[in-house]
Amino acid sequence: MKKLFYFLGALLATVAAAFIVATWLQGFDSPGYVLIGIGHWSLETTLVVFAVSLIIGFFVFYLFFRFLGWLLRLPGNIKNRGKNIKFNRSQEALIAGLVDSAEGNWEKAENILIKHASHSGAPLIHYLTAARAAQSRGAFDKRDEYLKAAAEQAPDSNIMIGLTHAELSLSGNQFEQALETLSRLHSIDPGHASVLKLLHQTYQHVGDWQGIRKLIPSLHTNKILMEAEVKLLEAETFSQLLKNAATAGNSEELQTLWPEVPQHIKKLPGIAAIYFAAMIDAGFGAEIEQELVEALSNHWDDTLLALFGSIQSNDVAKQLETAEKWSYVHQENAVLLSVMGKLAVKCDDILKAESYLAKSIAAEPTVQAYQLLGDVLFSQGDKDNAFTCYKNGLELASSAIVSRIDTVS
């Protein structure tokens, strides 16, 4: 419509200009004439006709060249118009695909997004959204195909595409595939927050505690987790590593790992017990005896105390002496009294053993203390009291089992 107005405006301006010039020239007494000669040809006309013809000719030539320019630009305009139509359709398709994906129409969203991806101004969004839709309907092959196409369309977006691939693999329980992708991304950008977070989650899923251990400094440095979370993760990691080594009976790994455990983690309840119990079970009790003594001296713990009593020491008398020194501070500790009784039995000091075990039972009856005291009395020929101890021990054990069943029920 605008072009029509422009044409009519130019036409009116030309007519007006021709009219004004003609009127002006006719106002003279002698309007004049124009003679144009070309070879044997000549053209003679009045100045008025020539001026009006010149103005109209300019207008005609102007229109002619405008029309010629329009014809020359026509193929390009048609092509651009087609591109614009496709682009607008791709934008509409993107919105429709996102809506369908949000509503759970996965296959419909996938089809419309892929159909218009090549004409979109943001093909990466098309392919990544389609990959998520394919993942949601369990089409993992299609998902990988779309992610590959996304990588070809946007080679500079490797991190984003890789993160999407890893996230989808992780949600699909494809942990090895996720770990492979994240390891590659980590080598490209070691400090990328999302890569570190997903890598941490993947390591936890596959139980790769060595991997988490290596990752902890990066999680702390790059502020991926809060300091309290880092410490909790660090404690869990070393605890699991110790448990794994203990379960495997790998004493060498335990001896290598234990010095690397931070002091604040060694002081946590149960951590030291894992190490010492595994070493004792592996037959290295005598080697870690002094270390266990130091641990108990720094941090008193009944579990560690029981482990101390189970060590096959090279010097049982010294072992008993150490326990007796602790009794000056922990006089009424039932576990310590039981350990002292057990060690006294090993030293063949029956009187001490009977005394310590009786005091342990008086402080807090335990099945082990009853059994040890029963063995001591039986070895002395006091069968009646020995049987009484065994009976009390069995009743105590039965009561504990019944209580545990009631708690579970």
The token pair that represents 386 in the structure block: 């020995």
**Position with higher pLDDT, 92 vs 205:** 205
Domain contains 341: yes
pLDDT confidence of residue 326: 92
Domain contains 386: yes
Domain contains 378: yes
Our CA dihedral for 226, 231, 233, 235, rounded to 10 degrees, sits at: -170
Q: Which of the four pLDDT bands, split at 50, 70 and 90, describes residue 127?
A: confident
Domain contains 132: no
Domain contains 373: yes
Angstrom distances, CA of residue 109 to CA of 85, 114, 181: 20, 9, 26
Number of domains into which the chain is organized: 1
CATH of the domain at 393: 1.25.40.10
- Tens of pLDDT, residues 278-323: 888 888 888 989 999 998 988 888 999 999 899 988 899 999 999 9
Q: Can you give the three-state secondary structure of 334-379, one letter per residue?
A: HHHHHHHHHHHHHCCCHHHHHHHHHHHHHHCCCHHHHHHHHHHHHH
Q: Cite the DSSP H helix spans in 249-270.
A: 251-257, 263-266
Q: Bin 330: left if φ > 0, else alpha if -120 < ψ < 50, else beta.
A: beta
Q: DSSP secondary-structure letter at 162?
A: H
- Tens of pLDDT, residues 339-359: 999 999 999 989 988 898 899
Residue for token pair 């070879």: 39
Domain contains 334: yes
Domain contains 60: no
| Whole-angstrom distance, CA of residue 365 vs CA of residue 345 | 19
Enclosing domain of residue 338: 324-409
Domain contains 210: no
- Tens of pLDDT, residues 372-391: 888 888 888 888 888 998 89
Residue for token pair 């943001």: 122
